[in-house]
Amino acid sequence: MKTENGNLVSPALIETYYNFLFRHVDWEDRLLSVRSIGEKGTAVEGERRVEYHQPGLVTDTLPWLKRHAVRAAQMEHACFIIPAVLNEARGGKDSVHSFTSVLVDIDTGAVGEKIAYLKSRVGPPSIIVYSGGVTDTGDRKAHLYWLLTEPTEEVQRVTELRLKIAVSVGGDRMVARPHQPIRVPGSLYCKSSKAIMVDAVFEDREYELDDLEEIVDALETMPGCEPVVAPSSSAIGPDGSFNVMGAASVQPIGEALTTEIHEGGEEDRNRW
């Protein structure tokens, strides 16, 4: 059953997000992946639809993305994107070809204070997305992106930075999964049939990956956000480096990288 929610989608916001995130990508035959998942608390909870697109071979990428968001909103589905360039039509970690950003998902506690902490220590984010959810302190949950000056195929390197930033502010550690999907700005958050637009603000700012890595490597944990579970020994490589493939939080990241995360999932595996 279709709702009138499609009228609430912001095509302009979707376009700005796409143009910011993928501004430097030479797509060639690479792919973009979006998916819609029935929102928690609705009659369609758990339904899913996955689509792939090749922006380098067709000219209708933005209309396609906007149509997907509208259709998702009409069906009370969340609209997600894998914020990366893919090399095959598959949603696994090995399908990620390159990243254009380093991001973090802040979904607990005083989000505003955590954003201010990261702004002062990492630098102002290029994109801040307010995903529609609210924490137990009444703060809007947020996704922060630091755009890179050029795409990088160093997937492991970027996922390590994503995890380190998440750990520093008590963010969602599932960003250590290279293929982790995330809500599209301009689409709708429809949990329990409440239609809230996923809002975003943009700042035309980019970062060199080397510079960002140096900053994040020196990033201290925000007071009050100390991890409650230490990394497992397998998280530390022979050279002392941190390995996201073997790190542990509530669930070992090595498992998290290959665990499918579902809307309305059990225990702590529901990130939306």
Q: Which of 223, 222, 205, 110 is nearest to 164 (CA)?
A: 222
Write down the pTM of the prediction.
0.85
Q: Which of 210, 198, 72, 63 is nearest to 141 (CA)?
A: 198
Residue for token pair 């916001």:
13
- Cα angle 144-145-151, degrees, rounded to a multiple of 5: 165
Q: What is the pLDDT of residues 141-191, one digit of tens each?
A: 999 999 999 999 999 999 999 999 999 999 999 999 999 999 999 999 999
- Provide the pLDDT for residue 2: 83
Using H for helix, E for strand and C for coil, what is the string for 70-105? HHHHHCCEEEEECCCEECCCCCCHHHEEEEEEEEEE
Run of H or E residues at 130: strand 127-134
132 CB burial (10 A radius; 0-12, 13-18, 19+): buried
List the pLDDT tens digit at each of the 272 positions of the chain: 688 999 999 999 999 999 999 999 999 999 999 999 999 999 999 999 999 999 999 989 999 999 999 999 999 999 999 999 999 999 899 999 999 999 999 999 999 999 999 999 999 999 999 999 999 999 999 999 999 999 999 999 999 999 999 999 999 999 999 999 999 999 999 999 999 999 999 999 999 999 999 999 999 999 999 875 544 433 334 333 344 444 433 344 344 444 444 443 333 344 44
What is the β-pairing status of strands 127-134 and 140-152?
antiparallel
